[in-house]
């Protein structure tokens, strides 16, 4: 199988209590691809500007990710986001957003990208997500992310896309906002009624839960004493989760392991700025952290 | 073994999005005892006023809890707390606190209460917690709760008590405030340095984590679509956790099961106002929910 991801490729400027970066590779599609590439062939679809160099493209291509559908817009500038995190890293402020090449972006998927069995619609305008869906072949599994802005100003289009995907991956606050239900369990249940067969609620430092028609899985975050930069954690989780499913299939047992791999990958992502940690991450490290998550969440077994 | 709990017995006035109660039995010691009584003999130490009736005393004595050390203060009024919860039940406002008989409270433990192997110091002034400790015999396991107020105004006394207990049970925000560390994992690690051998971080709807010198356990909350009244959830958790340990011992394996029982009991507590649900709860219901928690947190096994 292969996984196609459509979404932002960006330069980020980030400050956290542990330091700052003026200009580093980021974007939802970037973080997703770096994680999903541990499991399967990944194809990235998204626009960049003239300012996007070969070094950045090489990072994007880590572990064999196909960057043929990364569209370099002549005369354009790459999407730029600037944000600052508060002391406990749970709150962040967006200081600047330059859409740049994203203003005119119209997704164009190559035949190879259309042929993927698995698709991740990263957080972009729901109308663009719809355009991608219409180009796709018969993907077996489509997952979607979104954000508060689209729930606010493009709710109908978003509900339209949600009705056509397999899996919705949102954070707690977004699920509450989307459904109007204050309780995350009932909010996730409501989203299942919109059409998807699985809903993942991302809960940041608290982990994530997954709900399907007849299953519920809850997983804590991997315990870290120091979080350096949370940027991209959600997309890294999605990359691990969706990538694992692409590789191993969509049975209940694989859903649980997929949650664990998403969680483990996200925990590495936040240990350093931007893509720094996941770019040089190894499969052995990921597997070890998944094993540790299994130990941490084991309720019955005594510990060695 | 038996468990002694020292703390508040109260009348609560509570409003939530699901209704309100003008005057219901509450208090930390009450909620703790109702949960711990599933596992072991429980003795409650705390003051009440003339307004505390036989009906309330009977609820406190559910499942055989010993109320001989409930001190009825002649001419006094029972501690009263009034609060209101916001729409998502994660925020609450205290509208009124009447200390009443607690203003003059000096803990006096009977010989039987002093002889308990296990002690829970519910959230009261650290100076009173110290007085209790000084009266106790050789308890094998002492757990402590506290709150932001004491961290603010009685920090030294609180650190003194913490240095003498086995286990600290606080919520995330309290652990952060106590240690000055914004990250809960490092905050819990810091509290271990103060002396206790275990720290539990309560995380409300997200569950709870436990840290010891060489173990870490994370457990999500039991998923509920409707939470009616969160009052007493933390003390109910503590009652299940400490009660289970009193009954089954303090090995790593029992710590994990104790977390699961605390979590299950807390989930029942919040399904109705005050003590309404846990008073009529059965062991079979509790065991079923613990089994469900094991299923929910199982990462490897496929589900039936």
DSSP code string of chain B: -EEEEE---EEEEEEETTEEEEEEEE-HHHHHHHHHTTTSEEEEEEEE-TT--HHHHHHHTGGG-B-TTEEE-TT---EEEEEEE-TTSS-EEEEEEE-GGGGG------HHHHT-SEEEE-SS-HHHHHHHHHH----SEEEE---HHHHHH-HHHHHHHHTT-SEEEEEHHHHHHHH--SSHHHHHHHHHHTS-SEEEEE-GGG-EEEEETTEEEEEPPPP-S-----TTHHHHHHHHHHHHHHHH-S-HHHHHHHHHHHHHHHHHHTTSSTTHHHHT--HHHHHHHHHHHHHHT-SSSPP-
Check residue B300 and give its pLDDT.
80
| Min distance A30 CA to chain B CA atoms (Å) | 27
Residues of chain A neighbouring B210 (CB-CB closer than 8 A): none
Check residue B263 and give its pLDDT.
98
CATH code 1.20.1250.20 for B2-296: no
Q: Please write the tens of the pLDDT for every residue from B203-234.
A: 999 999 999 999 999 999 999 999 999 999 99
Q: In chain A, what are the domain boundaries?
A: 2-296
Which of A89, A184, A206, A291 is the best substitution to test chain B (most B C-beta atoms within 10 A)? Answer: A206
Distance of CA A39 to the CA centre of its chain: 15
- For A88, the closest of B182, B189, B297 (CB atoms) is B182
By C-alpha distance, the chain B residue nearest A87 is: B182
Interchain contact A173–B (C-beta under 8 A):
no
Identify which has the larger pLDDT, A251 or B122.
B122
Are B65 and B57 in contact by the 8 Å Cβ rule? The answer is no
- For B297, the closest of A89, A218, A227 (CB atoms) is A218
Asked if B303 and A219 come within 8 Å (Cβ–Cβ), the reply is no
Which residues of chain A are modeled with pLDDT < 70?
A: 301-304
Q: Please write the tens of the pLDDT for every residue from B170-191.
A: 999 999 999 999 999 999 999 9
Check residue A301 and give its pLDDT.
59
Check residue A303 and give its pLDDT.
45
Q: Please write the tens of the pLDDT for every residue from B123-165.
A: 999 999 999 999 998 899 999 999 999 999 999 999 999 999 9
Task: Report the pLDDT averaged over residues B261-282.
Answer: 98
- For A183, the closest of B206, B226, B297 (CB atoms) is B226
Residues 208-247 of A with CB under 8 A from B: 209, 215-221, 223-227
Task: Report the pLDDT averaged over residues B92-96.
Answer: 93
Interchain contact B296–A (C-beta under 8 A):
yes
Identify which has the larger pLDDT, B88 or B44.
B44
Check residue B251 and give its pLDDT.
82
Check residue A279 and give its pLDDT.
97
Check residue B138 and give its pLDDT.
85
| Min distance A78 CA to chain B CA atoms (Å) | 34
Check residue B303 and give its pLDDT.
45
Check residue B253 and give its pLDDT.
80
- Count of positions (residues) in chain B: 304
Contact pairs from chain A to chain B, CB under 8 Å:
120
Give the span between the Cα atoms of A65 and B89, in whole angstroms: 44
Interchain contact A206–B (C-beta under 8 A):
yes
Phi, psi of A208 (to 5 degrees): -155, 155
Q: Please write the tens of the pLDDT for every residue from B280-301.
A: 999 999 999 999 999 999 988 5
- For A223, the closest of B218, B227, B302 (CB atoms) is B218
Indicate whether B247 pLDDT > 70.
Answer: yes
- For A185, the closest of B88, B185, B223 (CB atoms) is B223
Beta pairing, strands A215-219 & B92-98: unpaired
Check residue B6 and give its pLDDT.
98
């Amino acid at each position: 199988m292969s996984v196609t991801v459509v979404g932002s490729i960006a330069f980020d400027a980030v400050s956290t209590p542990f330091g700052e970066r003026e200009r580093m590779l980021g974007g939802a599609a970037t973080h997703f691809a770096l994680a999903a590439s541990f499991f399967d062939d990944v194809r990235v679809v998204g626009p960049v500007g003239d300012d996007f160099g070969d070094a950045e493209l090489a990072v994007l291509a880590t572990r064999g990710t196909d960057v043929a559908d990364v569209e370099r817009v002549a005369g354009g500038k790459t999407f730029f986001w600037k944000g600052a995190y508060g002391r406990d890293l749970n709150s962040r402020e967006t200081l600047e957003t330059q859409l740049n090449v994203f203003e005119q972006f119209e997704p164009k998927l190559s035949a190879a990208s259309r042929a993927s069995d698995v698709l991740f619609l990263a957080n972009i305008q729901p109308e663009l997500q719809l355009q991608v869906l219409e180009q796709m072949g018969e993907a077996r599994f489509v997952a979607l992310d979104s954000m508060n802005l689209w729930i606010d100003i493009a709710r109908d289009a978003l509900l339209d896309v949600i009705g056509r995907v397999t899996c919705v991956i949102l954070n707690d606050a977004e699920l509450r906002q989307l459904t109007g239900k204050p309780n995350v369990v009932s909010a996730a249940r409501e989203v299942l009624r919109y059409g998807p067969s699985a809903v993942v609620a991302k809960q940041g430092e608290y982990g994530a839960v997954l709900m399907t028609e007849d299953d519920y899985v809850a997983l804590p975050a991997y315990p870290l004493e120091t979080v350096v930069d949370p940027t991209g954690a959600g997309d890294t989780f999605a990359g691990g989760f969706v990538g694992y499913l692409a590789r191993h299939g969509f049975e209940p047992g694989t859903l649980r392991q997929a949650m664990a791999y998403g969680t483990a990958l996200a925990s590495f992502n936040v240990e350093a700025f931007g893509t720094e940690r996941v770019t040089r991450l190894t499969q052995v490290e990921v597997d070890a952290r998944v094993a540790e998550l299994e130990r941490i969440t084991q309720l019955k077994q005594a510990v060695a």
